[in-house]
Structure 1
Amino acid sequence: MNWQDQYQRWKNDQDLEPQLKEALHNMNENEIEAAFSGTLEFGTGGMRGVLGPGTNRMNVYTVRKAAKGLALYLEEQGMADRGVAVAYDSRYQSREFAVETAKVLGVHGIKTYVFTGVRPTPTLSFAVRHLEAGAGVMITASHNPPEYNGYKVYNEQGAQLPPAQADQMIEQVNTVADELAIAVKDQSEIEAEGLINWIDEAVDEAYLRELKSITYRDDVKRDLSIVFTSLHGTAHNLATRSLAQAGFDHVFAVSEQVEEDPEFSTVKSPNPEEHQAFEYAIAKGQDVDADVLVATDPDADRLGVAAKKADGEYHVLTGNQLGALMLDYKLANMDDVPRNSVMINTIVTSQLGKAVADHYNVTTEHTLTGFKFIAEKIEEYNQSGAHEFVFGYEESYGYLVEDFARDKDAIQSTLLACEMAAYYREQGMTLFDALEQFFERHGYYFEDLHSLKLEGTDGPEQINAIMEDFRFNPVEGAIAVEDYLTGKRTYLESGESVDLNLPASNVVKFWLDDDTWCCLRPSGTEPKMKFYFAVKGETREAADERLKQLKDRVLERL
Structure 2
Amino acid sequence: MSWEEHFNRWNQFDQLDIKLQEQLTDLYNDEEKLKEAFHQYLTFGTGGMRGIIGPGTNRMNIYTVRKAAKGLATYLEEQGSGFKYRGVVVAYDSRYMSLDFALETAKVLGKHDIPTYIFSSLRPTPVLSFAVRHLGTAAGVMITASHNPPEYNGYKVYNEAGGQLPPGQADDLIEKVNAVEDELSIPVLEQHELEDEDLLRWIDDRVDEAYLDELENVALNRDVVKEQADNLNIVFTSLHGTANELMQTGLKEAGFNQVHVVEEQAEPDPEFSTVASPNPEEHQAFELAIRKGFDVGADVLVATDPDADRLGVAALNGEGEYQVLTGNQLGALMLDYILTHQSEIPDNAVMIKTIVTSELGKAVANDYGIETMNVLTGFKFIGEKIEEFSQTGEREFVFGYEESYGYLVKDFSRDKDALQSTVLASEMAAYYKSQGKTLFDALGELYERHGYYLEDLHSIKLEGLDGAEQINSIMEDFRENPVDSVEDLSVEAVEDYKAGTRTYVVSGEEESIDLPASNVVKFILSEGCWCCLRPSGTEPKIKFYFGVKGKTREEAESRLQQLKGSVLKRIDTQIIS
Place the TM-score, normalised by the shorter chain, in its bin. Answer: over 0.9
How far apart, in 2, do the equivalents of 1:260 and 1:457 lie?
36
Match of 1:369 among 377, 382, 395: 377
The answer as to 2:15 corresponding to 1:15 is yes
Structure 1's unaligned 5+ residue stretches are none
2:138 alignment partner, one of 116, 134, 137: 134
1:99 aligns with 2:103: yes
How far apart are residue 473 of structure 1 and its match?
1.2
SS of 1:322's equivalent? Answer: helix
Shift of 1:456: 2.1
Residues 1:111 and 2:115 are matched in the alignment: yes
User: For residues 63-112 of structure 1, what are the alpha-carbon distances to aligned partners after superposition, in whole Å with 9 as ceiling and x for unaligned?
Assistant: 00000000000000022011000000000000000000001000001011
Spell out the pairing of 1:330-479 with structure 2 (5 A cutoff). 330-477=338-485, 478-479=491-492
Would you say 1:499 and 2:506 are equivalent positions?
A: no
Q: Distance in 2 between matches of 1:273 and 1:310?
A: 21
Q: Residue 71 of structure 1 corresponds to which residue in structure 2?
A: 73
Counterpart AA for 1:457: L
| Identity over aligned pairs, percent | 68
Note if 1:513 corresponds to 2:517.
no
- Aligned position for 2:299: 291
Compute the displacement of 1:275 (Å): 0.6
- For residues 239-250 of structure 1, the aligned pairs below 5 Å read 239-250=247-258
- Give the distance between the partners of 2:547 and 2:204, measured in 1 at CA: 43
Structure 2: distance between partners of 1:174 and 1:293: 44
2:200 pairs with one of 193, 196, 199: 196
Among 214, 225, 232, the alignment partner of 1:210 is: 214
After TM superposition, give the deviation of residue 196 of structure 1 in Å.
Answer: 0.7
Residue 386 of structure 1: how far off its partner (Å):
1.2
Q: Partner amino acid for 1:165?
A: Q
Q: How does 1:255-334 map to 2 (within 5 A)?
A: 255-334=263-342
Secondary structure of the residue aligned to 1:546 is helix
Note the alpha carbon deviations across 1:187-245, whole angstroms, 9 max, x for none.
01101111011002100000000001011012102231000000000010111100000
**DSSP 3-state at the match of 1:272:** coil
Q: Tell me the distance in 1 between the aligned counterparts of 2:527 and 2:193.
A: 64
C-alpha RMSD over aligned residues: 0.7
Task: State the distance in 2 between where 1:365 and 1:310 align.
Answer: 34
**Corresponding residue to 1:528 among 513, 532, 541:** 541
**What does residue 502 of structure 2 align with?**
489
| Correspondent of 2:36 among 20, 23, 34 | 34
- Matched residue, 1:233: 241
- What SS is found at the alignment partner of 1:305? strand
Which residue identity does 1:107 align to in structure 2? K
Deviation of 1:309 after TM superposition, in Å, equals: 1.3
Q: Secondary structure at the match of 1:170?
A: helix
71-80 or 404-413, larger mean C-alpha shift: 71-80
Structure 2 gaps of 5+ residues are 486-490, 572-577
C-alpha distance in 1, partners of 2:494/2:169? 29
Letter in structure 2 aligned against 1:104? V
| Aligned counterpart for 1:158 among listed residues 145, 162, 168 | 162
Report what 2:4 is aligned to. Answer: 4
**What is the CA distance between 1:457 and its match in structure 2?**
2.6
User: TM-score under structure 2 normalisation?
Assistant: 0.96
Distance in structure 1 (CA, Å) of the matches to 2:549 and 2:431: 28
Answering whether residue 542 of structure 2 is matched by residue 538 of structure 1, we say no
State the alpha-carbon separation in 2 of the partners of residues 191 and 394 from structure 1.
41
Amino acid at match of 1:154: Y
Three-state SS of the structure 2 residue aligned to 1:471 is: helix
| Distance (whole Å) between structure 1 residues aligned to residue 185 and residue 404 of structure 2 | 39
Q: CA deviation at 1:310?
A: 2.3
CA contact (8 A) 1:40 1:55 kept: yes
The corresponding residue for 1:90 is 94
Q: Deviations over 1:357-406 (max 9, x none)?
A: 01111110000000110011111112111110000000000000000000
SS of alignment partner, residue 397 of structure 2: strand
Letter in 2 for 1:512: L
Q: Give the letter for the 1:66 counterpart.
A: A
Aligned AA (2:12)? N
Q: How many residues align?
A: 558
Indicate the SS of the match to 1:197: strand
Shift of 1:475: 1.6
Residues 390-436 of structure 1, C-alpha deviation per residue, up to 9 Å, x if partnerless? 00000000000000000000000000000001000000100000000
- The answer to whether the 8 Å contact 1:231/1:298 transfers is yes
Letter in 1 for 2:515: L
Q: Note if contact 1:476-1:553 (Cα within 8 Å) is conserved in structure 2.
A: no
Match of 2:575 in 1: none
Q: Is the 8 A contact 1:86 1:112 kept in 2?
A: yes
Local SS of the residue matching 1:557: helix
1:450 match: secondary structure: strand
Partner Cα distance (1:237, 1:196) in 2:
25
Supply the distance in 1 between the matched residues of 2:344 and 2:510 (Cα, whole angstroms).
39
Letter in 1 for 2:58: N
Shift of 1:249: 1.0
Looking at structure 2, the residues matched to 509 and 183 of structure 1 have their Cα atoms a distance apart, in angstroms, of 47
Question: For the residues of structure 2 that align with 1:113 and 1:157, how far apart are their CA atoms?
Answer: 16
